[in-house]
């Protein structure tokens, strides 16, 4: 017989500890998420620069919403050329700028989130 078992006891204890300290960790998580969104915006703008689509990089913005379940940060290009540049169209091949911006900043965001969690744990 093949299989595996998953025991979440340690994770459950960690989550319980974090929930007990939610008021302390939440501002740090929000700050880390906002910082990551701004970094992704800067990276996307630098990757989106193009002579054929000069307004594209300036159309990339960051919007933050505080929801009951957490913080939502959206990094988006308002220009309709954003989709064309990211995925290509016709003879124009793709020149991704949003996904690479996410990939380049993801490790830093994860590190900041871990640091926020560790700051409230014993």
Contact (CB, 8 A) for 53 and 81: yes
Residue 4 lies in a domain: no
Residue 69 lies in a domain: yes
Tens-digit pLDDT profile for residues 15-64: 777 777 777 778 888 888 899 999 999 999 999 988 888 889 999 989 98
> Is residue 1 pLDDT above 70, yes or no?
no
On average, the pLDDT of the chain sits at 84
Contact (CB, 8 A) for 85 and 56: yes
Residue 1 lies in a domain: no
Residue ranges making up the domain that contains 45: 10-118
Looking at the structure of the chain, the number of domains it has is: 1
Residue 3 lies in a domain: no
Report pLDDT for 99. 92
Residue 108 lies in a domain: yes
Describe the crossing of helices 22-48 and 9-20 by its angle, rounded to 10 degrees.
Answer: 100
- 3-class SS letters over 51-106: CCCCCCHHHEEEEEEEECCEEEEEEEECCCHHHHHHHCECCECCCCCHHHHHHHHH
Report pLDDT for 122. 62
- Residues paired with residue 72 on neighbouring β-strands, in sequence order: 65
């Amino acid at each position: 017989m093949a299989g595996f078992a998953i025991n979440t006891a340690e994770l459950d204890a960690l989550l319980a500890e974090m929930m007990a300290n939610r008021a302390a960790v939440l501002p740090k998580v929000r700050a880390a998420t906002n910082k990551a969104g701004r970094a992704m915006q800067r990276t996307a703008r630098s990757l989106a620069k193009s002579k054929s689509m000069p307004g594209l990089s300036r159309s990339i913005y960051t919007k933050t919403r505080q929801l009951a379940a957490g913080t939502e940060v959206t990094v988006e290009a308002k220009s309709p050329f954003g989709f064309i540049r990211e995925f290509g169209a016709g003879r124009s091949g793709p020149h991704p700028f949003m996904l690479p911006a996410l990939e380049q900043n993801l490790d830093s965001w994860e590190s900041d989130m871990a640091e926020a969690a560790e700051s409230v744990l014993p």
